[in-house]
Structure 1
Amino acid sequence: MAFPAPDRSAPTSPWKIVGLVVGVAILLCLMVIAFALPAARSAPNDVPVGVVGTPAQVAQVEQRASGFELTRYSDPDDARSAILNRDVYGAIVFGPQGPQGVLVSSAASPTVATLLTAAGQRMGVTEPTIDVRAFPADDPKGAGLAAGALPLALGGWIAAMVIMLLIPSNVGRLVAAACVSVVGGLALVATLQFLIGTFDGNYWLTALAGMLGIAATCFMVLGFRELLGGIGLVIAAILLIFLGNPLSGLASAPELLPSPWGALGQLLPPGATGTLLRDVVFFEGNGMAHALVVLLGWLAVGLLLYGAGMIKARRKASAADTASEPNSAVPVG
């Protein structure tokens, strides 16, 4: 069936133009707010940090370094273990004469490592900062990981759109999404590890984490689209691009974003995937439980929404078939 061409000579309502202009302006403002405001308002918000020293020395740190949630450790080895277990981002170490040194993990957050180093210097630390777990030398600031949130969000979105456009069958779409997740995870991690040099862990374990992140994103978009149509795509875009990317905390740390936006970002696929990759690569999986649960949850939500959308479509088609059937009853004259 051919659709009639639109009548381009018909007058356009001024209100439609006004609505379009205002809508685009609001959209641009919201984009700027979503991407720029978290960075502009970045500040420590209960960043977990260790202190090796006496209770009085812990109190001294509380007075001179705001924004940290402090935990006292008995010796530097305990603090180092806590950093590698992802309990704290770093630690300030006191000695008999006062502040002695600073332990950080730039792989956990280069920004927090810088903040801790500066806090130690303000308190009189003169010893060089010890980086317990750093990024590889090829990418010492972890730029590859920080930049990966947007490709992840857009990659899952674009993959879902292409699948919906090119593959008509429900089973085919699910198989395609699974294949995209596997190949995309392998490719994403290979790029970050072998080309950019951001990762230095076990490639296959890291690739599994990448696969889960892409699967959670792709199936989430498919599910929203199948059940809710165009509105579902808008919801997915808001969750992944407008919220998930700027609130992921990959460029700094979730605790450096305004509260409660940092915590919200860890409940969305981009932030959870970045955290999972970080924990798997640099901390032997320590601290990954939350991110793992979030991604598995989104994967399950996407599949459930997709299943509900299939049921809805079948019922709608069945109702349409019933309505189109001719009335079998013939009136007797």
Structure 2
Amino acid sequence: MNAALHAPHTPWGRTIGLGVVLSFVVCIVVLAFSWPSVTLDPKNVPIGISGPAQAVQPVEQALNEAADGVFDLQEFDDRDAAVQAIKTRDIYGAVVLGTTPEVLTSSAASTATNQLMTQLHTQVLASAQQQADAAAQAAGAAAPTVTVKLTDVVPLSDNDPRGAGLAAAALPLVFGGMIGGVAIAFTVSGVWRRVVALITYAIVGGLAITGIMQGWFGVLEGDYLLNVSAFSLTLLAMGATIVGFASMFGRPGIAVGPVLFMLIGNPISGATFPKEFYPTPWGEIGQFFPPGAGATLIRNLSYFPDADSTFPIVVLACWAVGGLILTGLGHFRNEASVGEPETAPEAVTA
């Protein structure tokens, strides 16, 4: 009698096949999270250069030869123009040549590019000192000590000088968007109830996350409500997409969220490294997913109010609206299929 209660054993073929499939899934997860870090290689990082033509030309030539395509040099009329370009996130830093050479950087834009600009500062200082030594030797005079100023135009918060807190918030935000979407898809029925649950979750979640990141930890700056809107829109974009696919395809649709956001979008989001560090075109592709667009929008609103945030807002809005549309379509499609009258069988005539 007890034997009858036991479920039949899983066939050996299915057992081995499941083990192979699961190991393949693990390999994909490892590849998704390790590949971007392993292949990081800065290329065409936009930086500015300003100064007299006779000073700019040799520096440009030296950088192009030594950096091997790392920098995309853009000339500016003066220091003020370069500073404004940094504040609008058109460039990550600049070299200002003249009577007092200066290297401009922006740690709030990226700690990785800030390190590049710090290294560039050392190179510019060494080059300027060599030129001064050569001129002094030719004139038979003592060589002066050259100084090159390093200025952080847009620094990180004093509570997060290395940017660790801002970067660390990216992964929990992705988890938060997915958890909300999965929970609502499983527990809430009715299209309008799901929509209200998503919007409520996004707003309350945005208020809570911003309160922690800005009010408690102090790793964000800028307007509190604007930062709330960035977090809320990001949560809504991911949550609505998951609920939308679940409404259309049932439980299998819930798997779309982890695949799109965790395995694809998060590793190339640019939250830790800028898009110029990823192999082309993956850095740009990452900005079309909610993790990348959300990270960019949060950084812009917090530290770069002069930057144009239209693109990340549009990306997040498209994901959010698309998810809500799928939620409605799935609901009404299911209602239509349930409400279809049964077709009476045709009468059999003799």
Residue 52 of structure 1 is matched in structure 2 by 50
Q: Is the 8 A contact 2:182 2:254 kept in 1?
A: no
Residue 80 of structure 2 is matched in structure 1 by 77
* Structure 2 counterpart SS, 1:222: helix
Indicate how the Cα distance of structure 1 residues 241 and 15 shifts in structure 2: closer, same or farther if over 3 A, else same: same
In structure 1, what residue type is equivalent to 2:79?
P
Q: Is the 8 A contact 1:104 1:131 kept in 2?
A: yes
Indicate how the Cα distance of structure 1 residues 117 and 44 shifts in structure 2: closer, same or farther if over 3 A, else same: same
The one of 169, 172, 179 equivalent to 1:148 is: 169
The one of 67, 70, 76 equivalent to 1:67 is: 70
The one of 285, 296, 301 equivalent to 2:322 is: 301
Q: Which runs of 4+ in 1 moved over 6 A?
A: 329-333
**1:310 matched to 2:331:** yes
TM-score scaled by structure 2? 0.86
What is the Cα deviation at residue 330 of structure 1? 8.2
Counterpart-to-counterpart distance in 1, 2:13 and 2:122: 60
* More moved, 87-96 vs 21-30: 87-96
Task: After superposition, give the CA deviation of every residue in 1:42-101 in whole Å (9 maximum; x if it has no partner).
Answer: 12122111111335243332222232221101211111111001111111222259xx22
Indicate how the Cα distance of structure 1 residues 86 and 11 shifts in structure 2: closer, same or farther if over 3 A, else same: same
The one of 79, 94, 98 equivalent to 1:95 is: 98
Residue 131 of structure 2 is matched in structure 1 by none
Q: Is the 8 A contact 1:145 1:274 kept in 2?
A: no
Counterpart-to-counterpart distance in 2, 1:130 and 1:14: 66
Task: After superposition, give the CA deviation of every residue in 1:23-53 in whole Å (9 maximum; x if it has no partner).
Answer: 1111111111111110111121221111113
Q: Is the 8 A contact 1:255 1:262 kept in 2?
A: yes
What is the Cα deviation at residue 285 of structure 1? 4.9
Q: Is the 8 A contact 1:193 1:199 kept in 2?
A: yes
Counterpart-to-counterpart distance in 1, 2:336 and 2:71: 55
**1:12 matched to 2:14:** no
Task: After superposition, give the CA deviation of every residue in 1:235-269 in whole Å (9 maximum; x if it has no partner).
Answer: 22111101121111111211112222111111100
What is the Cα deviation at residue 229 of structure 1? 2.2
Task: After superposition, give the CA deviation of every residue in 1:95-129 in whole Å (9 maximum; x if it has no partner).
Answer: 259xx221111101111011121123124355242
The one of 277, 287, 290 equivalent to 2:308 is: 287
Show the 5 A alignment for 1:240-319: 240-319=261-340
Q: Is the 8 A contact 1:58 1:72 kept in 2?
A: no
What is the Cα deviation at residue 311 of structure 1? 2.7
Task: After superposition, give the CA deviation of every residue in 1:190-234 in whole Å (9 maximum; x if it has no partner).
Answer: 111122211121111111111111111111111111112233222
Residue 3 of structure 1 is matched in structure 2 by none
Indicate how the Cα distance of structure 1 residues 151 and 332 shifts in structure 2: closer, same or farther if over 3 A, else same: same
Q: Is the 8 A contact 1:45 1:259 kept in 2?
A: no
Counterpart-to-counterpart distance in 1, 2:171 and 2:187: 24
In structure 1, what residue type is equivalent to 2:115?
T
Q: Is the 8 A contact 2:246 2:252 kept in 1?
A: yes
Aligned length: 322
The one of 205, 217, 226 equivalent to 1:196 is: 217
What is the Cα deviation at residue 175 of structure 1? 0.3
* Structure 2 counterpart SS, 1:129: strand
Residue 252 of structure 2 is matched in structure 1 by 231
Q: Is the 8 A contact 1:240 1:268 kept in 2?
A: yes
Counterpart-to-counterpart distance in 1, 2:84 and 2:268: 28
* Structure 2 counterpart SS, 1:95: coil
* Structure 1 counterpart SS, 2:48: strand
Counterpart-to-counterpart distance in 2, 1:148 and 1:220: 21
TM-score scaled by structure 1? 0.90
Residue 121 of structure 1 is matched in structure 2 by 122
Counterpart-to-counterpart distance in 1, 2:334 and 2:60: 61
Counterpart-to-counterpart distance in 2, 1:82 and 1:205: 22
Indicate how the Cα distance of structure 1 residues 304 and 218 shifts in structure 2: closer, same or farther if over 3 A, else same: same
What is the Cα deviation at residue 17 of structure 1? 1.3
Greater radius of gyration (CA): 2
Counterpart-to-counterpart distance in 1, 2:77 and 2:297: 29
Identical amino acids, percent of aligned pairs: 33
Counterpart-to-counterpart distance in 1, 2:104 and 2:349: 94
Counterpart-to-counterpart distance in 2, 1:119 and 1:41: 22
5+ residue gaps, structure 2: 127-146
